[in-house]
């Protein structure tokens, strides 16, 4: 609110040359709190007004007047304003307490629908740490979208088709053991898949066998189809165990194969628009004008490729949901693919293609290298989650042996640690897998945040706080840093969604918890004469912290 008011007042004072939007973007937060709460740099005004930035700031300072500001000062070319702490504290806490579930909520998404393509593991392969990123980033973005008023459709677009499944079928035909696979499906299927690639490096003819098996699958060969359905069923059973542990659900789970018999209309439209061309026996859409390589639509042997299915899926999704945005939360190595798909959709005449967006993210690395199933270099997410929960359970047993629901709390803490370790990083960056860092229960971790929530909840219990009887009359300067951070929450939510970046929420929550812990350490809350007002602030903190963690998909135990 105060940033908008500051920008509005400056736009009136500076005239039409500088728009309110431009002014708003220039406003920043001083590095030192003693300098003020907001700052406007006047350097870019010097040429227009033919005065020094310092003189401009000095002339503007006395003209800044509003209940939300207590003072305005010139400082080295900056116009710094101080907020009225009493006014802002009262306004902020009343905003939080009026309807805690709506604090931080925005309505700019009302009436709009967003479809998210996320997670998308491949069948017949264990759920690796590599697929964690798409899953938790996509889920957090969906939660942020809901917080901003959008209706969200989360789609788990399972990788159940393509040449790799031809290789798997060929591998099973050579080395498959039905009983072993029934006993441990994904481990055994991965084992023969890796063996196929090892053997193919010595005997290239195996690659052709894999292609032949995929062609059989496309032609609905009974044997190939039966094996493929079996592999898919056992895979989904295993995946659902992971999703349940993560607390993540989908509105639609659908594989690539769903579109096998739905691609002809796509081919027909491509032909009708004159977009298909033959290239070395294959059919492509040229994208020379877009400075992109041709998009392969059908291979020379007649088989389709995932671009064909993605085009068909995108058309189907728009017909089903009339989406305002379609977000593909997929690793950055697929950037070219999505550029091609989007351009082909635009060439096909779909105006909504402009709202198809690839949300890329970095890789999960092990020792600086990409994890690879075909090389047998993967870290299984299920094993990591189990170890995280086990470590949390050991810590709880040592520190709180009488705690009720210890197993549930251990799950909340362990799983939360894994999710937060991923989401605290900017999604565009690679993340180095480190079990030790992930399971550290101190520092910049989910357990640190969860413990701050538990500590605050304990204060409320000990102080007999009644959330129906609150006070916002806080005169203690120690409260101000915490109040300011609570006030920032709606802005951080908006920025996090605008950038599709959950790490902004994660970093904000760490700052929020640190501010609370500092306040807790320096202010004798339970011994205060102003107990109700201080507990009201603590209560507001718990509301924001719990809501922020929920946006990331992390639960908050009441006790630890």
pLDDT per residue as tens digits for the range 301-360:
777 788 999 999 999 999 999 999 999 999 999 999 999 999 999 999 999 999 999 999
> Residues 86-112: what's their mean pLDDT?
95
Q: Which residues, 6 or more positions from 517, have their beta carbon under 8 angstroms from its beta carbon?
A: 452, 455
Q: Among 42-51, 93-102, 185-194, whose mean pLDDT is lowest?
A: 185-194
Strand order in the sheet with 282-285: 276-279, 282-285, 295-298
The C-alpha atoms of residue 237 and residue 186 are separated, in whole angstroms, by 10
CA separation for the pair 24, 200 (Å, rounded): 60
Calculate the CA 430 to chain-centre distance.
14
User: Which pLDDT band, with edges at 50, 70 and 90, does 490 fall under?
Assistant: very high
Q: How far apart are CA 6 and CA 44, in angstroms?
A: 17
Residue 45: the pLDDT is: 95
Neighbours of 272 (CB within 10 A): 11
For the chain, how big is the Rg over CA atoms in Å? 28
Q: Are 100 and 165 in contact (CB under 8 A)?
A: no
> How do residues 113-166 score in pLDDT, each as one tens digit?
999 999 999 888 888 777 899 999 999 999 999 999 999 999 999 998 878 889
Model confidence over 494-532: pLDDT tens digits? 999 999 999 999 999 999 999 999 999 998 889 888 899
- Mean pLDDT for all residues in the chain: 92
Residue 371: pLDDT band with limits 50, 70, 90: low
pLDDT in tens, 395-450: 888 888 888 889 999 999 999 999 999 999 999 999 888 777 776 767 899 999 99
3-state secondary structure of 374: coil
Number of H-type helices and E-type strands within the chain: 21, 14
pLDDT at position 139:
98
What are the structure tokens assigned to 214, written together?
């995929």
Rounded CA separation 277/271 (Å): 9
Provide the pLDDT for residue 441.
67
Q: Which domains does the chain have, with CATH numbers?
A: 2-83 (3.30.1360.70), 113-370 (3.40.50.620), 381-551 (1.10.730.10)
CA distance 8 to 24: 8
Neighbouring C-beta atoms of residue 76, cutoff 10 Å: 11
Query: Could you please report the per-residue DSSP string of 285-328?
Result: E--GGGT-PPEEEE-TTS-B-HHHHHHHHHHHHHHHH--SEEEE
**Average pLDDT in the 277-295 region?**
94
pLDDT at residue 528, rounded to an integer: 83
pTM over 0.85: yes
């Amino acid at each position: 609110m105060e940033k908008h008011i500051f920008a509005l007042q400056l736009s009136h004072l500076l005239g039409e040359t500088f728009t309110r939007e431009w002014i708003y973007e220039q406003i920043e937060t001083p590095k030192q709190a003693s300098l003020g709460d907001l700052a406007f740099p006047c350097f870019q005004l010097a040429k227009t007004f033919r005065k020094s930035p310092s003189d401009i700031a000095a002339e503007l300072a006395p003209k800044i007047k509003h209940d939300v500001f207590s003072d305005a000062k010139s400082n080295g070319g900056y116009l710094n304003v101080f907020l009225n702490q009493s006014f802002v504290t009262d306004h902020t806490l009343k905003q939080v307490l009026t309807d805690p579930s709506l604090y931080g909520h925005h309505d700019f998404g009302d009436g709009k629908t967003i479809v998210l393509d996320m997670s998308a593991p491949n069948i017949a392969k264990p759920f690796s740490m590599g697929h964690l990123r798409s899953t938790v980033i996509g889920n957090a973005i969906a939660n942020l979208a809901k917080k901003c008023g959008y209706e969200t459709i989360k789609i788990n677009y399972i990788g159940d088709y393509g040449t790799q499944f031809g290789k798997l079928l060929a591998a099973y035909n050579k080395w498959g053991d039905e009983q072993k696979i029934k006993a441990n499906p994904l481990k055994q299927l991965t084992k023969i898949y890796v063996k196929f690639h090892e053997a193919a490096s010595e005997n290239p003819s195996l690659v052709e066998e894999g292609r032949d098996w995929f062609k059989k699958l496309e032609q609905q060969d009974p044997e190939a189809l039966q094996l493929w359905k079996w592999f898919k069923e056992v895979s989904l059973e295993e995946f659902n165990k992971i999703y349940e542990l993560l607390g993540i659900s989908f509105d639609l789970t659908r594989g690539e194969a769903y579109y096998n018999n739905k691609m002809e209309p796509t081919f027909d439209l491509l032909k009708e628009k004159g977009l298909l061309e033959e290239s070395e026996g294959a059919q492509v859409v040229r994208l020379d004008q877009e400075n992109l390589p041709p998009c392969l639509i059908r291979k020379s042997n007649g088989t389709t490729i995932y671009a064909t299915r993605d085009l068909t899926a995108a058309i189907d999704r728009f017909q089903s949901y009339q989406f305002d945005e379609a977000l593909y939360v997929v690793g950055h190595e697929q950037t070219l693919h999505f550029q091609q798909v989007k351009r082909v959709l635009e060439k096909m005449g779909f105006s909504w293609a402009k709202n198809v967006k690839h949300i890329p993210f970095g890789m999960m690395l092990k020792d600086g290298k990409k994890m690879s199933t075909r090389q047998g270099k993967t870290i299984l997410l299920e094993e990591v989650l189990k170890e995280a929960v086990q470590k949390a359970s050991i810590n709880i047993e040592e520190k709180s042996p009488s705690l009720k629901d210890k197993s549930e709390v251990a799950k909340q803490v362990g799983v939360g640690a894994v999710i937060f370790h991923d989401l605290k990083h900017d999604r565009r960056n690679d993340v180095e897998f480190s079990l030790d860092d992930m399971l550290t229960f101190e520092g910049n971790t989910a357990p640190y945040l969860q413990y701050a929530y538990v500590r605050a909840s304990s204060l409320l219990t000990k102080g007999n706080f009644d959330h129906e009887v609150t006070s916002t009359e806080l005169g203690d300067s120690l409260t101000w840093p915490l109040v300011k951070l609570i006030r920032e929450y709606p802005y951080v939510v908006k920025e996090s969604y605008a950038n599709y970046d959950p790490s902004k929420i994660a970093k904000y929550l760490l700052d929020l918890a640190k501010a609370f812990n500092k306040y807790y350490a320096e202010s004798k809350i339970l011994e205060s004469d102003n107990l109700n007002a201080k507990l009201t602030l603590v209560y507001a903190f718990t509301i924001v912290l719990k809501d922020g963690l929920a946006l990331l998909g992390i639960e908050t135990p009441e006790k630890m």
